[in-house]
Structure 1
Amino acid sequence: MDSIIQTYQLTKTFKNEEIIEPLDFTLRKGEICALIGKNGAGKSTFFKMLAGQLMPTTGDIQLFGKSGKKIGKSKKRMGFMIETPEFFPDFTATQNLEYFRIQRGVTEKKRIYEVLQIVDLANQKKKRFKDYSMGMKQRLGIALCLLSSPDCLVLDEPINGLDAEGIMEIRKLLLKLNQEKQITILVSSHILTELQLLATRFVFLKNGVIVDDLSKQTLDEKSKKQIHLKVDDVAKAARLLEQGYADIQYKILPDHLITIQNHVEEGGEINRLLIDNEVFVMEFRMEALNLEEYFLGLVEGNEK
């Protein structure tokens, strides 16, 4: 698969403090990759290096296979929204984008209408930016990213501060850009539950270090429901489970606990099987693994 972004041993140090430790990362064509970490984990620093707003201390960045002096041309194929863009408050969306179109040397004037259509702001012709909702402002920021018809978007916290409706609008927009326009997306957030609905890959950053890198399939596997049992005789319970269900998937934990990963919908029958065979069930419950807690465990701690 073609790589869009590739970093090799990328580091960033401020005043002798290493914000990004040697970081190897690859973004492949077609992905929606979520970069997840608490505030201060190094997400924005990493994005600013990709955008050329900060120079790496050491290491190398490749965009579309180009690095060094050749990277400039590749950057034109990227759209960055690292901080909220500074729009003119008294301008409409069209007026704001016309200013940036001229500034950025985008020749086709009709591109403004096209991007406003994509982000669903084409019908807001007279509304001035200062009267926009937060969600509309974020969508205009994405429209600005799209002005030069990029192949890849890098978005830093695009859903931060949005209400539920605004978050849903941004999610639908990013999915549309990825699926209909084939735009690869690297997006950061600390809101895991929302990113689960959007991303195809999840990279977790802590203190400038990647601590986990999972596909959506792996993440979904981790979030499946399971049966949680506490019994007086673990060995007998395990034997009964294996006799009753040939393909049973279970784990024996300390303190007489057993977790069962499949046959979850047959929980009642499993409970009855144990009771009928004189296994005392002290606790029986269904639970989904709490991904927020699990992954906050990965990324919490003393952030730089």
Structure 2
Amino acid sequence: METVIDVRNLTKSYQDFVALHPLDFSLKRGEICAVIGKNGAGKSTFFKILSGQIEQTGGEMTFFSNHTEVSLNRSRKRMGFMIEEPTFFSNMNAYENLNYFRIQRGISEKERINDVLRIVGLSKNPKKKFREYSMGMRQRLGLALTLMSSPDCLVLDEPTNGLDAQGISDIRNLLLKLNKEQDITILISSHILSELQLVATSFLFIDKGKVVEQISRQQLNEKSKKYAKIIVADAAKAAQVLEMNFDKIDYRVMPDNELRIMSHIDHIGEINKVLLSHDINVNEIKVESLNLEEYFLGLGDGL
């Protein structure tokens, strides 16, 4: 499988401050990789180096097996970048804005404008000025701009920032469609981890400029700890019963009379029977896995 992005020992320093420690990362064709980290973790710095907005202090980058400075710039034409909220002309409509950037970037196919507006769902209001756009429409136009050069890879930093639930869902479905139908590889960051869990095929965890872990979706599913979720009528009484009847049981008392049992997963039937025998009504009992946010927070105290 072709490697789209490959970086080795990539670093970025500002005098005494190290924004990126030696970073190794590889992105294969067809992947949707989610970059996850808190504010200041180094995600945007990493994306800006990839896009050429800032220069790395050290290390090597390879795009589509090309690694010289000239070939990197050429390869970037096969990529679409949305690092910060795009700046458009407020008095122009979508077509006029995209046509301006088409000319600026030397894209010859004028008909591509209508294609990308249709792809992102902005073709129904062709005369509407950018200043009249909602946040969701602005993000869609930003995505349309990244698609103008028919890229093989998209690098998107917080593409759902500021959107409502419907807007987030629309962007998610659009990215999945681009990935599946047009085979576009995607590198994406977002603070909404539940959304990333719905789209990503791999995950890169960054903290304080360092890579903590890079794993596939399958590896994440295997490593996510399972727990028993039990909702009872009286969580305090249920906790006492569990401690009396099960040696070294590991559990958490959650809001709304929920208990999370981290150990004894293979004895759920017995746990249910014991609770019932002590007149504790069990409203729900099932085994679940940690979601992406819980896994992220559990990677270590440093996150």
TM range (shorter): 0.7 to 0.9
After TM superposition, give the deviation of residue 217 of structure 1 in Å: 2.5
Which string of whole-angstrom CA distances, capped at 9 and with x for unpartnered residues, describes residues 182-214 of structure 1? 000000112111111111111111001111222
Alpha-carbon distance between aligned partners in 2 of 1:299 and 1:170, rounded to the nearest angstrom:
31
Mapping of residues 142-291 of structure 1, within 5 Å = 142-221=143-222, 222=224, 226=228, 230-234=242-246, 253=250, 259-261=263-265, 267=268, 269-271=269-271, 273-274=273-274, 286=286, 288=288, 289=290, 291=292
| Correspondence for 1:68 | 68
- State the AA in 1 paired with 2:143: I
**Corresponding position: 1:87 with 2:88:** yes
TM-score (norm 2): 0.83
- State the AA in 1 paired with 2:50: L
Q: Residue 5 of structure 1 contacts residue 62 of structure 1 at CA under 8 Å; is this kept in 2?
A: yes
| Correspondence for 1:247 | none
- State the AA in 2 paired with 1:232: M
Mapping of residues 65-144 of structure 1, within 5 Å = 65-69=65-69, 70-144=71-145
Alpha-carbon distance between aligned partners in 1 of 2:85 and 2:301, rounded to the nearest angstrom:
26
| Correspondence for 1:54 | 54
TM-score (norm 1): 0.83
Which string of whole-angstrom CA distances, capped at 9 and with x for unpartnered residues, describes residues 81-104 of structure 1? 111111000100000000011111
After TM superposition, give the deviation of residue 253 of structure 1 in Å: 4.6
Which string of whole-angstrom CA distances, capped at 9 and with x for unpartnered residues, describes residues 198-246 of structure 1? 11111111001111222223334427553578343546xxxxxxxxxxx
Alpha-carbon distance between aligned partners in 1 of 2:39 and 2:264, rounded to the nearest angstrom:
36
After TM superposition, give the deviation of residue 2 of structure 1 in Å: 1.2
- Residues 258 and 178 of structure 1, relative CA distance in 2, 3 Å threshold: closer
| Correspondence for 1:33 | 33
- Residues 22 and 114 of structure 1, relative CA distance in 2, 3 Å threshold: same
Alpha-carbon distance between aligned partners in 2 of 1:96 and 1:213, rounded to the nearest angstrom:
38
Greater CA drift, 18-27 or 191-200: 191-200
Pairwise CA RMSD: 2.9
- State the AA in 2 paired with 1:24: D
Alpha-carbon distance between aligned partners in 1 of 2:189 and 2:251, rounded to the nearest angstrom:
37
Q: Residue 8 of structure 1 contacts residue 24 of structure 1 at CA under 8 Å; is this kept in 2?
A: yes
After TM superposition, give the deviation of residue 75 of structure 1 in Å: 1.0
After TM superposition, give the deviation of residue 48 of structure 1 in Å: 0.5
- Residues 297 and 224 of structure 1, relative CA distance in 2, 3 Å threshold: closer
Alpha-carbon distance between aligned partners in 1 of 2:142 and 2:80, rounded to the nearest angstrom:
10
After TM superposition, give the deviation of residue 292 of structure 1 in Å: 2.1
Greater CA drift, 225-234 or 102-111: 225-234
After TM superposition, give the deviation of residue 20 of structure 1 in Å: 0.3
Which ranges in structure 2 are unaligned for 5 or more consecutive residues? Answer: 231-238, 253-260
Alpha-carbon distance between aligned partners in 2 of 1:54 and 1:232, rounded to the nearest angstrom:
60
- Residues 104 and 262 of structure 1, relative CA distance in 2, 3 Å threshold: farther
Alpha-carbon distance between aligned partners in 2 of 1:254 and 1:292, rounded to the nearest angstrom:
19
Greater CA drift, 224-233 or 99-108: 224-233
- Residues 272 and 99 of structure 1, relative CA distance in 2, 3 Å threshold: closer
Alpha-carbon distance between aligned partners in 1 of 2:212 and 2:13, rounded to the nearest angstrom:
19
Q: Residue 7 of structure 1 contacts residue 60 of structure 1 at CA under 8 Å; is this kept in 2?
A: yes
After TM superposition, give the deviation of residue 73 of structure 1 in Å: 1.5
Alpha-carbon distance between aligned partners in 2 of 1:299 and 1:273, rounded to the nearest angstrom:
35
SS in 1 for 2:199: coil
